[in-house]
Structure 1
Amino acid sequence: MNWINLTEEAQLEEINKNSAVKPQVIFKHSTRCSISKTAWNRVEKSDNLPDADYYYLDLITYRDISNKIPEIYGIEHESPQVIVIKDGKASYDADHFDITVDDLSEAIA
């Protein structure tokens, strides 16, 4: 899977714009958390996720971007967290062990 590193706040505007064309997925990952590592591995190892742009956010390194996401999308911050953006809105989010490939696939489709 090709992940786009989310490292600049300006990318959030790009995500909003592109979400009108195809789903955008943000995976907020805490590199210090074993639960986050488990959730990341589930998603990363999947080879059958639908077409979307997939963004990876290291929320420890890019805390400012992580903090901006709840402001923009009106969702509560969690870690780990996966968010699907469609038409400029968070259409789905899941956190911790609720992050599953099946649910994510359904939300993207």
Structure 2
Amino acid sequence: MKRIKAIEEWRTIKESSNGQSILLFKMSLTCFSSLSAKKELHKLVTDLPLYVIIVQTDQAVSKAIENDLHVRHESPQLLIVKDQKATWQATHYHIKESVVRDAIELYS
């Protein structure tokens, strides 16, 4: 997982989704469901790049993602982004390795 800390970095990553889908994981460091979702993502085997946004410290990036993708903010939240659009999302306890693996097959 590579952390996104700046809006410019997010916009470059968003543009890169034209060539390959990406995974975006928004999480809170103080939320149990975020930590549980993070553990699930560590089990995931995929070639897709996985980026993390920590909502407490990177609020501007989180807001830019919400505005750019037209997806309401949740935390934790996992998005598949393809061609600069969110094609799939899961929140809270729906972020499970098997669910994400299936979503990658269908939406990336």
Report the equivalent of 1:97.
93
Q: 2:75 aligns to what SS in structure 1?
A: coil
Find out whether 1:60 has 2:53 as its counterpart: no
Report the equivalent of 2:2.
4
Q: Unmatched 5+ residue regions in structure 2?
A: none
Task: Give the 5 Å matches for 1:1-109.
Answer: 3-44=1-42, 46-48=43-45, 50-109=46-105
What's the RMSD between the two structures over aligned residues? Answer: 1.2
Offset of residue 41 of structure 1: 1.0
Pair 30,84 (structure 1): closer, same or farther in 2 beyond 3 Å: same
- Structure 1 runs of 4+ aligned residues shifted over 2 Å read 106-109
Q: 1:43 aligns to what SS in structure 2?
A: helix
In the alignment of these two chains, the number of paired residues is 105
Deviates more, 1:27-36 or 1:7-16: 7-16
Contact 1:30 1:80 in 2 (8 A): yes
Offset of residue 80 of structure 1: 0.3
Provide the rounded CA distance (Å) in 2 between the counterparts of 1:27 and 1:70. Answer: 12
Offset of residue 106 of structure 1: 2.2
Offset of residue 47 of structure 1: 4.6
Q: 2:35 aligns to what SS in structure 1?
A: helix
Provide the rounded CA distance (Å) in 2 between the counterparts of 1:91 and 1:30. Answer: 23
Q: Unmatched 5+ residue regions in structure 1?
A: none
Contact 2:44 2:101 in 1 (8 A): no
Provide the rounded CA distance (Å) in 1 between the counterparts of 2:53 and 2:44. Answer: 20
Q: TM-score, normalised by structure 2?
A: 0.90
Identity of aligned residues (%): 26
* Higher fraction of helix: 2
Provide the rounded CA distance (Å) in 1 between the counterparts of 2:97 and 2:104. Answer: 10
